[in-house]
Chains A and B, each alone.
Chain A
Amino acid sequence: MNIAIIKYNAGNIRSVSFALERLGYKPWITSDHDAIRKADKVIFPGVGEASTTMAFLKKEGLDELIPSLKQPVLGICLGMQLMCSFSEEGNTECLGIFDEPVRKFALQKDADTKHKIPHMGWNNISRVKSPLFDSTLEEQFVYFVHSYYVPTGPDTAAETNYIHPFSAALQKDNFFATQFHPEKSGKVGEKILRNFLMI
């Protein structure tokens, strides 16, 4: 299988590549438009800041390429957020694949309800749907690190509760996305990556 990991100025790309290698695949890390267009599967990873990353995508023409892709595409973390319409991080216009905004978690200062930000660590996913998941993944724990979130909406494919329910995963047509890091989520994450590769 020909898997392209989109290369851009984001951290953590190497981790996604290593995770796929552990599953027995040899992904390409590339920003070449033809290579991405021809791949069987495309992964759009990301750790970083929204506005600088969008600026980079525009410079590389990836802002037009990614929404035009026809094969299964998986956005991870910042990748997912950039696939939304707009992000409060740097008030950034994003790719608009999912018609959802990206909001900042509001710090809860009250001692009883205090939630630290970033939302960092293992949390469970529920109400899972989409080919990324199967019923065995309901309530399983996956690894999150983020300060911005996508509210739940029509494209929500899994929910997690932190301060309030938010979208742990999204799906629309051939576009899939997870707010958590499947590449860092142990056996559960490996299963989700495998499910994506089977689509």
Chain B
Amino acid sequence: MLAKRIIPCLDIRNGQTVKGIKFLDIKEVGDPVELGALYARQGADELVFLDITASHEKRKTFVELVRRIAQHINIPFTVGGGISELNDADALLSAGADKISINSSAVRNPKLINDMAKNFGSQFVVVAIDAKQLQGDDWVVTVNGGRIPTEKRLFSWAKEAEDRGAGEILFTSMDHDGVKNGFANDALARLSDELGIPIIASGGAGAKEHFKDVFTIGKADAGLAASIFHFNEIPIPELKNYLQKEGIPVR
């Protein structure tokens, strides 16, 4: 039976893993390769590495880091941050990344999704969406780490991304991120109902129960979190044991 995936997310700045709350108040928490390898040993199903420096002169450093990750880590990983053209993706894939995640660049240039899917296959292309709830079912898509609202709405944009060839959607609720009060389960369930591709839930994990809820109520295929893993608030083996006891299929 296909297992629900637990995905630690590592934000990388200048080659170091960092964690902030609501994209602010950023602290360094360690070496990405060591931390990633530790999570892999603990039973993480995948890893996501987001380059939050993403300034042009630092891209080479990140590509080198991706190569080091690919050499040392024996589970799949996605990389994102500052990917705005095919060449960026190509360099990361050649370095050994399994998937790339695009966010603001896809909002600004939706055709990028088509180009990426055509060149590298849909399975390589994760479209990340940061959205804020306006009211009820109305969610506005934001860019630049949640700072800038756009014209796009969550559900129509997610569907468009799927139609253009995205292989997965990584949805972060900016309202839930860092608050540790659970995932945006209603919006996640609607995404799962309306789309035929896997949905990765992000933003809001603070307790083991939140993962059970996101896989049952939220119908998500994968749950992503950062600080609860980085600060060892919920060790991955403990989380997996809990989910197994609750009848959630996990590895």
Contacts and interface: CB of A to CB of B under 8 A. Distances in A.
Interface string A41-61: 000000111000000000000
Contact of A120 (B1, B94, B123): B123
The size class of the interface chain A forms with chain B is 35 or more
A117 B196 contact: yes
Interface in A96-131: 107, 109, 111, 114, 116-124
Contact of A19 (B74, B95, B122, B167): B74
Nearest to A107: B196
B45 A121 contact: yes
A116 B96 CA distance: 26
Interface string B216-251: 000001100000000000000000000000000001
B74 A11 contact: no
B123 A118 contact: yes
B121 A48 contact: yes
B167 A120 contact: yes
Contacts of B198: 116, 118, 120-121
Contact of B96 (A18, A48, A121): A18
B2 A123 contact: yes
B61 interface: no
B71 A121 contact: no
A92 B40 CA distance: 37
B137 interface: no
A67 interface: no
A190 B167 CA distance: 26
Contacts of A107: 196
A15 interface: yes
A16 to B, nearest CB: 10
B110 interface: no
Main secondary structure of the interface of A (DSSP, over half): mixed
B122 A15 contact: no
Report which residue of A21, A122, A184 has the largest number of chain B beta carbons within 10 angstroms of its beta carbon.
A122
A14 interface: yes
Contact of A161 (B1, B168, B193, B197): B1
B123 A121 contact: no
A122 B5 CA distance: 8
B1 A14 contact: no
A19 B123 CA distance: 20
B78 to A, nearest CB: 11
A126 to B, nearest CB: 11
Contacts of A185: 74-75
B2 A186 contact: no
B221 A116 contact: yes
Interface in A152-189: 161-162, 181, 183-187, 189
A47 B96 CA distance: 12
B70 A15 contact: yes
Contacts of B45: 121-122
24 contacts: A11-B120, A11-B121, A14-B95, A14-B96, A15-B70, A15-B98, A18-B70, A47-B121, A47-B123, A114-B192, A116-B197, A117-B197, A118-B197, A119-B2, A120-B168, A121-B2, A122-B2, A122-B251, A141-B3, A143-B76, A147-B123, A161-B1, A184-B75, A186-B75
Given A183-B74, A187-B74, 18 more contacts: A11-B93, A11-B120, A11-B124, A18-B96, A22-B71, A47-B121, A117-B196, A118-B167, A118-B197, A120-B198, A120-B221, A122-B45, A122-B251, A145-B76, A185-B75, A186-B74, A186-B75, A189-B74
